[in-house]
Structure 1
Amino acid sequence: MNNLTNYHSHCDFCDGHAPMELFVREAVKEGFSSYGISSHAPFPVQNGCNMQKEKMTAYLEEFRRLKRLYSSEIDLYIGLEIDFLDDSFNPSIDYFQSLPLDYRIGSVHYIVASDGTPVDTDGSPERFRNYVDTYFDGDVKEVVHRFYRSSFRMIELGGFDFLGHLDKIGLNASLYCPGLDRESWYKKWVTDYLEEVASRNLLVEVNTKAWETRGRFYPNHDYFELMNDLGIRVVVNSDAHYPEKINAGRIEALCALAQAGYTNVWQFCKGNWVDVPIED
């Protein structure tokens, strides 16, 4: 085993930009010890990111084919990144629990506006600004509140193996209102959430997707020391949508975790989560 692992990646079954096999080939070429595919799960609102439900069988079959083909070269796993919307749609519902997956990622992308419209908080800063102005009359603080209320409810309901890109709202919110994510009320949301995560002994993803473009991890590295103090276990993932990005930001994340006091990260080994020392 080594620290070359990734369990958050999106192939062309959802909004990824290459077939599943090209991600696996890249992982083999780079010497990964294990790798996981985690397309965006089917979602009740039509969009350009989530996999269509009717493709699920083909998704699972393609993974099984690749696992047989590359079994001597890499340890492969299949998962889904599952959105929280409300109590009727989240990682814990029967449909997602019944699927033959190795793991499930619990993520919040959407919040529900006062008129019942699911609003995506992810995506480009321009789209985020338009949504905040259209559905929340420019009240970005209310958007953040709803994001974290959904996040708390998601961990109450459970049904996932690790949390995806915790604190991701901080990027778009701070681009909408510079400095917002450094304000005390925002930090309190994150701190309270991390304390609840720790109390439930949940595994948290350190997501490196935005490191190269924004110099930011999810959660922000400012919280790594607190996370370590709270005993929160972490897994480092790149949230790759291109094969060449499967290792982006990993070294920087591992260094930042080590500086914050972490000595181990978590990964899959023969179907089980194990802790592995951070390599020098």
Structure 2
Amino acid sequence: MTNLTNYHSHCLYCDGRANMEDFIRFAISEGFTSYGISSHAPLPFSTAWTMEWDRMEDYLSEFFRLKKKYADKIELAIGLEIDYLNEDSNPASSRFRELPLDYRIGSVHMLYSPEGKIVDIDTPAAHFRELVDAHFDGDLDFVVRLYYKNLLHMVELGGFDIVGHADKMHYNASCYRPGLLDEPWYDALVRDYFAAIARHGYIVEINTKAYHELGTFYPNERYFNFLKDLGIRVQVNSDAHYPERINNARPEGLAALKKAGFTSVVEWHGGKWEDRGIL
């Protein structure tokens, strides 16, 4: 297998299921050339799936220890997956900018309901339906528009390198209302969002985490040709929470990119992002 890299990866510092070294050792055993750790960044409140600020120093120290230990076997990079929550908590926040990271992933997992309650919409489809009905009075259009509004604001604020699972809501929203993805207003929202990403020059990951279970990439494969036309640079990441899933659906992701006309992906080599041909 070729283009063996992964930069979206969660270990025990957040909601991953193994320690950082286990992921790195597994990547080496699989022949990966570079690998990145990107734990969920701290939020202004505690959750079961994000890191706490008091663990940040340990997170960074452990990474730099492992980077030195395995320097002759694999190139490692350290990052964070940082949520856009609001104007005060997002990837552009100074506290995140000051950290000695190689890269940052910008993502949206949560929305504020009309009553001001924080709702995690990154859930299984059945629970997503319950949340929309309970907290947004079943107004799916409002939820979708709010999601893309937040994504666009995150893009404008900046502070990150990679857009995480760019349109992750598309699966849950289309389960809630089949045919949504073909509705013109929805398509326009997504295209405006990708156009903004292109203007700012961010990398878009092809997130393969759910491909084998749900049959979809994030972003949806229907937009791969559009990403290519916009000149957006891409990479394939598995969003792994278990070491054995670091290579999940990589061949399928690379094949889909080639079908859309992509000839290269972005990889971390020599301490920087480089375009490498899809082999």
Shorter-chain TM range is over 0.9
2:94 counterpart of 1:81: no
Which residue of structure 1 aligns with residue 149 of structure 2? Answer: 149
- The SS at the match of 1:80 is strand
Q: After superposition, give the CA deviation of every residue in 1:144-167 in whole Å (9 maximum; x if it has no partner).
A: 100000000001100001110001
Q: After superposition, give the CA deviation of every residue in 1:71-127 in whole Å (9 maximum; x if it has no partner).
A: 110000110000001110000011100111110000011111112112111022232
- Between the aligned partners of 1:126 and 1:57, the Cα distance in structure 2 is 38
Extract unaligned runs of 5+ from structure 1: none
2:134 counterpart of 1:134: yes
- Between the aligned partners of 2:152 and 2:198, the Cα distance in structure 1 is 12
- Between the aligned partners of 2:245 and 2:179, the Cα distance in structure 1 is 29
Q: After superposition, give the CA deviation of every residue in 1:205-261 in whole Å (9 maximum; x if it has no partner).
A: 110011110110000111001110111110110000000000001110100000000
- The SS at the match of 1:194 is helix
| Backbone CA RMSD of aligned residues | 1.0
Matches of residues 165-180 of structure 1 in structure 2 within 5 Å? 165-180=165-180
Amino acid aligned to 1:117: K
Query: Once the two structures are aligned, what percentage of the paired residues are identical?
Result: 53
* Worse overlay, 249-258 or 129-138: 129-138
- The SS at the match of 2:97 is helix
2:262 counterpart of 1:265: no
State the Cα distance separating 1:45 from its structure 2 match.
3.0
- Between the aligned partners of 1:18 and 1:233, the Cα distance in structure 2 is 30
State the Cα distance separating 1:181 from its structure 2 match.
2.2
- The SS at the match of 1:36 is strand
- Between the aligned partners of 2:11 and 2:176, the Cα distance in structure 1 is 30
Which residue of structure 2 aligns with residue 100 of structure 1? Answer: 100
| Runs of 4+ with deviation above 3 angstroms | none
Which residue of structure 2 aligns with residue 205 of structure 1? Answer: 205
2:228 counterpart of 1:253: no
State the Cα distance separating 1:130 from its structure 2 match.
2.0
- The SS at the match of 1:152 is helix
Amino acid aligned to 2:248: A
- The SS at the match of 1:105 is strand
Q: After superposition, give the CA deviation of every residue in 1:152-208 in whole Å (9 maximum; x if it has no partner).
A: 000110000111000101011112222222322211111111111112222111100
Which residue of structure 2 aligns with residue 123 of structure 1? Answer: 123
- TM-score relative to the length of structure 2: 0.97
Extract unaligned runs of 5+ from structure 2: none
- Between the aligned partners of 2:65 and 2:156, the Cα distance in structure 1 is 35
**Across the two proteins, how many residue pairs are aligned to each other?**
278
- Between the aligned partners of 1:124 and 1:50, the Cα distance in structure 2 is 18
Which residue of structure 1 aligns with residue 226 of structure 2? Answer: 226
- The SS at the match of 2:13 is coil
Amino acid aligned to 1:69: K
- Between the aligned partners of 2:163 and 2:105, the Cα distance in structure 1 is 6
- The SS at the match of 1:24 is helix
State the Cα distance separating 1:27 from its structure 2 match.
0.3
